Structure 1
Amino acid sequence: MLGRFIMKVLVAYASKYGATEGIAQRIGEQLRKRGLETDVTRCDDLRDASGYDAYIIGSATYAFNWRKDARKFVERNVGVLSARPTWLFSSGPLGTETVDKEGNDVLKGAEPRQFADYADLVNPRGAQVFRGAYDHDKIRGGDRIIAWMPAIRDILPSGDFREWDAIDAWADSIADDLGATA
């Protein structure tokens, strides 16, 4: 009797302060629960992404762009990503509002440019924005100058706004798409 094929999935991420890393780790845990062999790694820790059956790439978003190490990861691996099932995610919006002042969906409005840029490049099966987390006291380096400005402190709510149920549901939908067991 032949052994059952176990799909190998890579979750690669770029995170500055850890919120996106937490999302990537959670996605990895959920996929493992569904029987998928899953590696979770930082984008800048993996030069060659070959050897996987499916890919999930995510990044924190700043000024509507993914972090540079995530963008470079996709550019280095476009051939393998475009040939296999690939999904994209980002994190960034803070707070709990579902619509902005103009009535637009907050998560849709927070999509990074890379979702559109990579649509034809890697043909992702899906792309999702998740809420992030922010702690004024953990900001470091050059970001500290901006983070300590009173106006910035007022518009960037501090807290963990990640919606774990939504993250789990998205990971489950990927597992379903890949034919994983319940």
Structure 2
Amino acid sequence: MAELMLVAYATKNGSTREIAQSIADTLRKEGLVVDFRRAADVRDIRPYSSVVVGGGLYTNHLHRDARRFLRRHRRPLGDRSLWLFSSGPLDPSAGERDIPPVPGVRRIAVRLDAKGHATFGGQLDGTATGWMARMIVKSGRGGDFRDFGQITAWASEIAAAMAAEEVRRRETHQ
């Protein structure tokens, strides 16, 4: 039976959900069994052998629900393969170069021994909620800066890492 993978996300306006959905869809196309859930809705990670967690960045901090998920499940996450992603730059920079995680996410990644992290461009349009978001859009700095080719490629790298891990596990048990 295939092991179950979790893709969990935290979002304010829905952009990060669409990134997480793309990751989950890619992992499924690569043959993995994936559960796709809001981070705030996940109560137990015992069924999952590996986890991808992502959240939007707001004033250089990972979305609160993603931070809470990672804090609440920190012990069992130590026994699982973990990847993290952030979304947020409202410019093309994330599609042009590798952007390191913000300091808080970097600390989380080190503490939980994450296998990888990616920062993806964000998206903010006129439907965004919150005073600051509306001001950003009104100033003309909104837009959609997500690069779904980049997102798919990153998810494919995760699938390849999972496949290699499975081969190593089988070779060890022979």
- TM over 0.5: same fold? yes
Structure 2 unaligned residues grouped into runs of 5+: 167-174
Alpha-carbon distance in structure 2 between the residues aligned to 1:98 and 1:130? 5
- Distance (Å, rounded) in 2 between the aligned partners of 1:50 and 1:17: 29
| Whole-angstrom CA distance in 1 between matches of 2:89 and 2:29 | 28
Q: Judge conservation of contact 2:54–2:86 (CA < 8 Å) in 1.
A: yes
Query: In structure 2, what is the equivalent of residue 102 of structure 1?
Result: none
- What is the RMSD of the two structures over their aligned residues, measured on CA atoms? 2.4
1:178 is the counterpart of 2:162: yes
**Mapping of residues 29-178 of structure 1, within 5 Å:** 29-97=25-93, 107-108=99-100, 111-135=101-125, 137-140=126-129, 143-144=130-131, 146-149=132-135, 153-154=138-139, 157-178=141-162
Q: Cα deviation per residue 1:123-159 (whole Å; 9 max; x = unaligned)?
A: 0000110001110x2122xx23x3444x7733x6222
Q: TM-score, normalised by structure 1?
A: 0.82
TM-score, normalised on structure 2?
A: 0.85
CA separation of 1:169 and 1:153: change in aligned 2, threshold 3 A: same
Greater CA radius of gyration, 1 or 2?
Answer: 1
- Asked whether the equivalents of residues 94 and 121 of structure 2 are also in contact (C-alpha less than 8 Å), the reply is no
Q: Deviations over 1:73-115 (max 9, x none)?
A: 111101111111100000000122469xxxxx6833xx33332
Deviation at 1:58, TM superposition (A): 0.4
Task: Give ranges in structure 1 of 5+ residues lacking alignment.
Answer: 100-104
